[in-house]
Every structure is written in structure tokens, then in C-alpha cells.
Structure 1
């Protein structure tokens, strides 16, 4: 039995057709993208609207949280850096989460957004949740791993990146 392979590099399917498995594969990262995007938007907004979080000290403040994890973090120098300006660090994390969430949800600069999400999750894992024992009780490591497929694949469907790519291809006549 011989198969003819479609020559278009965007449809590497036997006989050039797509079946339900191909479509499932094509949309496989969409639920992860929606979950991470919505979660990071919520996390950023939650921090920005929490009057206790964006303070140097006090119950629920970013300052007290960072002082509380300093001795148990994997990289105490990173905590010291945050403690130089805890409120500024809190705003940076909140706005970073918001930007990452919006970029991920809408699929705009999606690989860059996912890399930002991975770096935020990595920094939180190495500081805030490093001491979780056993390690799987801390969620930052799981978020880090969830970001990696989006760093690699981006947002190939239902995204502004895909729409811009299609528009560019149509304008240049390129189908690669």
C-alpha cells in the first residue's frame, strides 16, 4: 500500500486529509492556554485590587510574605532583591501576570507571554514555594511545567498571532 504525502508543510497528513484526531491535535493546547491566561489575569487583578498585598508590611503583604520565605528559598538573594522594594516587586509581579495572561489568552506574542509566565512561575517556585514538602504540594512548579508547551508551540490556532501570520502570508503570497 502506498501513501501520497501532501507537499504543503503546514498539512503533513497522509493523503492530505484531516480527521478528528488531527483536529484534536491542532487544538490540544487551547484548554491549557485558556486556563493559564484566565488564571494569570485573575492573579494579576487580584494582587492589584488587594489593599493588603501591595504593602511593605502587615498581614497578607508582599513584604511580610517575602521576609517569611527568605530563609527557606532556594535563592535567598532573589528574595533580598525583592525586599529592596517589596511594593515595587509586588506591582511588577501583578502587572507581569496581567500581561502574560492577556498575551496568552488572546494569543498575542504568545511564545513571549508563555516565557514570561514560565519565568514568573520559576521565580515563585525558587522563592515562595521552594520549601513545600513534598514538592508537589507547591503549585508553582506545576505552573512552570504547564507553560513550557506554550513556550515551544505558541498559539497556532484561535489567536492574534495566527491571524497576523495568515494576513502576512496573504499579503506576501507565501504559504509557508
Structure 2
């Protein structure tokens, strides 16, 4: 059993993958590194190939994210989309052999319909050239940022659109 997290103490990084990322191991590490992850109802994550745009998809349970009306709580949904963007960038960096910190620089949400059942969130670059542009910035300056878009679906209904810019910090 791991020690409880302490404020001001960074959590140890997960070693970079030697081949393909083990998303189950990453999800377990994520829950230890960021304690609130355990309360978000994240059931499973999958990631498409770079040729498919590298979309990161999360399957989530509604029950831990209910509001007083019996639908998805906006604050929880916002936290999930923001965290998922952070994960997308972190996984992208790991796939490129880079151990750098990621921070959220900007985030926006637009709520379109109530979330009434279990749901999925899909995160992908806002611009198909975003990953290549990020790689160029990292190679030239050691830092950069990328814009991502998240879409939350309950069944076939698009309930939330979110977008954010995530900054990759230079190695300290």
C-alpha cells in the first residue's frame, strides 16, 4: 500500500515505456499520483494510433459524478476533460521518450445536453498538425504547447465540448 500524497512533494514518475504504453499501468499510476482520479469513475482508457490521430478515449461511470438533479455534475465533467487533456500530452511525450512536466495553460467548456448515463470522452489534437508542431517546438526550444479538444458523449448524444491548451515545460 502506498503512502498518502503530501502537498509540495512530487509523485515519482512512471518509467518511460520500452515499447508500447501499458494504459492499465498508466491508469493505476495516475490514480496514485492524483488521488482524486479514484473518485472520477474512470473505468477504462484506450488510445488510437498516431495514424488515427492518437485520440484518447475514456469510458466513465455516471454514478460517482451525479449532481442534485441526477445528471452529470459539471464540475466533475470539467475536471475529467481537463485531466484527460493532461493525460493525452503526457502519454504523447512518453511515446516520444520524453520525461517532461505538463501543465494546463487554458481550458474552456461548453455544455450542450445533460449527461444521463455512463459516458465516454474523446480527446484529440484540435489541429491535425498539432503533434508535429509540438515536436518541432520541443526539439528547437525544449518547451511548447498544444491545443486539444475533448468531446463527451452519452450514447450518441454530444453533451459537452471542451478545449484546452497544454504546455510542456522545459526539463529543469
TM-score under structure 1 normalisation? 0.27
Give the number of the structure whose residues are more often helix, by fraction: 1
Task: Name the structure with the higher strand share.
Answer: 2
Bigger Rg, structure 1 or 2: 1
